[in-house]
Structure formats: structure tokens, C-alpha cells
Structure 1
Amino acid sequence: MTTAQELDERYGRTRRRRLPWIVGILLVIAVVGVFGWMTFMQSANSVDADDLGFEVADEHSVTVLFQVTGGQGKDVACAIEALDEEFGIVGWKIVEIPASEEHLQQLSTTVPTVAEATTGLVNSCWVA
């Protein structure tokens, strides 16, 4: 005579173990949570900069007008560069911007150059 256990094993009605499934689901939730938090923190610390214009003052300086978006309540630093007609860097300056509650800040700075510049621009900005 066949027992109930033999019939269950024959037709795949064995007890399923729930612990591996629970551990797996908790692990997936933890991984998704960690990546979500990392993405949020990265976007909270992101800073955008846009060039608004430049003016070549003389052969030894250029004034760059730019705006910074983001970094509210945090100090921000930007690398400003001056380029010659062959796109070689002839001047470079790090501008430190104090923390502000404004989402958008318009700024200008004068970059000293070693040769005459034909343009000035923002290379990059970051939370300092």
C-alpha cells in the first residue's frame, strides 16, 4: 500500500521551505533600498553650471559669466577656464561659492591668462 508521503513526493506536493524565499525577498528589498538611497544622495549633491557669456578684458584676462544650479545649502566650487583660438587652456581658476538657499545663482569671475584668450567657460562644478 502506498503511503500519503510517497504520493506527495511522487506528485510534487512536498512541503515547500519558506525560509529561503523569505531570505531572498528580504535581500532583494535591501539591495533595492541601498541603490535607491545612493541614487538619492548623488542627485542631492549634483551641481549644474551653464555658461552665460564671456568678455575678453585684455590680453591677460577674461571675465566669465555663468550660473550654478543646485547645491542648495552647501558650499560649491567651480573650475573656470580660458581658452585660446586653438582651444588650448591659457588660464584656469577655481571659484569657491559660499552656501546659499537659492536654487539658481548667477556669477561672474575674472580669469587671469598667460596669453590672449578667445573664450571663457565653466569646466565643471561640484559640492565642496
Structure 2
Amino acid sequence: MTTQQLLDERYGRRRSRTRRVVGWVIVGVIASALVVALGWSTVARTLNAVDVVGTGYDVADERTVTVVFQITAPPGAPVACALEAQDEEHGVVGWRIVEYPAADAHERAFTETIPTLALATTGLVNSCWVP
């Protein structure tokens, strides 16, 4: 007999099987709740996600860039997009925020003009979001 068993027998301590089972059940319930919470947060974040694809740009002149892009957004939600024009050193020479009202379509295409301070070499969509 080990020392621990002798002490447990002497002082009437017993390791209860039901206590261990209850402990593991509690750990299992907490782990399951955490998995469900993580799954829901992932789903909730993607429900309002907006994807954007830049399909082209045109440097019209020294002070104007036109950007063509397509967004995929939740139907019935307004969308805002940040557009920018950059020079050859990737410095921002033009910036514009555009807002679009809610629409029933899941995908929409837009063409926007960005005023610039200097000659731009590219135009792009920085990001889009549901406000």
C-alpha cells in the first residue's frame, strides 16, 4: 500500500468516481460552448462581409483617374468604399470615399472618378465595408 493510500484510509478520504465524471462533464460543456461561440462569431463576421475586385483604371489626365470595380455585398445593405489614386512611387495623390445605397442585387459594378493632386499612375479600391 502506498503512503497516499494509507493516509486516505486513515483520514477517511476517498476519491469519488462521480466527482471525476462531473468534472469532465463540466469541462466538456465549457469546451462545447467555446466552439459554438467561435463558430457563431465567424459566421456573423462573414454575413456583412464585402468583397471588392478592381477590374480596371484609366488615367484620364494629370488631375483625374477613373476606377472600375465590382463589389459583392449583402443584399439590402448600404456599402461604402475608399478609393485612391497613387503615383509611380506608390504615394497617394488622390483619395475619395463613396457611399452606395442599399440594393437588392448581390453583385454590383461601378465606375468612379478620383480627383488627383498630381499625375497618378494607378487607381484602386482600398477597401469597402457596410457602414
User: Taking structure 1 as the reference length, what is the TM-score of the superposition?
Assistant: 0.83
The structural deviation recorded for 1:60 is: 1.0
Alignment RMSD (CA, Å):
1.7
Match of 1:116 in 2: 119
Further displaced range: 93-102 or 30-39: 93-102
Corresponding residue to 1:95 among 74, 95, 98: 98
Q: Are 1:26 and 2:36 counterparts?
A: no
1:14 is displaced (CA, Å) by: 5.8
Q: Which aligned pairs between 1:71-110 and structure 2 lie closer than 5 A?
A: 71-110=74-113
Q: How many residues were matched structurally?
A: 117
Shift of 1:112: 0.6
Contact map agreement 2:50 2:74 (CA 8 A) in 1: yes
The 2-side partners of 1:26 and 1:87 are apart by 52
Alpha-carbon separation, structure 2, partners of 1:14 and 1:85? 74
2:62 is aligned to: 59
User: Corresponding residue for 2:12?
Assistant: none
| Partner Cα separation in structure 2 for residue 46 and residue 74 of structure 1 | 11
CA–CA distance in 1 between the matches of 2:119 and 2:79? 28
Runs of 4+ more than 6 Å apart: none
Q: Larger % of helix: which?
A: 2
Amino acid at match of 1:96: E
Deviation at 1:101, TM superposition (A): 2.2
Instruction: Tell me the amino acid that sits aligned with residue 123 of structure 2.
Output: G
1:127 shift after superposition: 1.3
* Structure 2 equivalent of residue 4 of structure 1: none
Give the whole-Å Cα distance in 2 for the aligned partners of 1:15 and 1:49: 57
Distance 1:103 1:56 in 2: 29
Question: What displacement does 1:113 show?
Answer: 0.4
Q: Distance in 1 between matches of 2:128 and 2:47?
A: 14
Q: CA deviation at 1:84?
A: 1.3
Q: 1:31-79 deviations in whole A, cap 9, x for unaligned?
A: 1111011000111121111111111222111111000012322111111
Structure 1: which 5+ residue stretches go unaligned? 1-8
Q: Structure 2 unaligned segments of length 5 or more: list them.
A: 1-8, 10-14
Matched with 1:15 is 17
Within 2, Cα distance between the matches of 1:109 and 1:14? 72
